[in-house]
Amino acid sequence: MAAGSAETAAQKARLAEDAWNTRDPARVALGYTVDSVWRNRAEFIHGRETIEAFLTRKWNRELDSHGTSGTNSP
């Protein structure tokens, strides 16, 4: 299979989507280069370790805001 084929691109997209769906920041971060740069609104996130830390904070905040019972109560 050619390196740039549509099938390869689709496979890579599925693997990335599967990683995101795990909500495992370490696994997601491995899909990016060590020198990746992300932008989240006014924040710039540099590097794989910082991406992992950002996703950890983001997903922990989302879990906290939704609570374990599925309500928004503290």
Cα–Cα distances in angstroms (integers) from residue 2 to residues 6, 33, 72, in the given order: 9, 22, 49
Give me the DSSP letters along 9-61.
Answer: HHHHHHHHHHHHHHT-HHHHHTTS-TT-EEEETTEEEESHHHHHHHHHHHHHH
Residue 1 has what pLDDT?
A: 46
* pTM, to two decimals: 0.72
- Please name the residue that has the structure tokens 């691109």: 9
The ranges assigned to domains in the chain are: 20-74
Which pLDDT tens digit goes with each residue over 19-72? 999 999 999 999 999 999 999 999 999 999 999 999 999 999 998 887 755 444
- Residue of higher predicted confidence among 71 and 9: 9
Tokens 């060590």 correspond to 34
CATH number of the domain located at residue range(s) 20-74 in this protein: 3.10.450.50
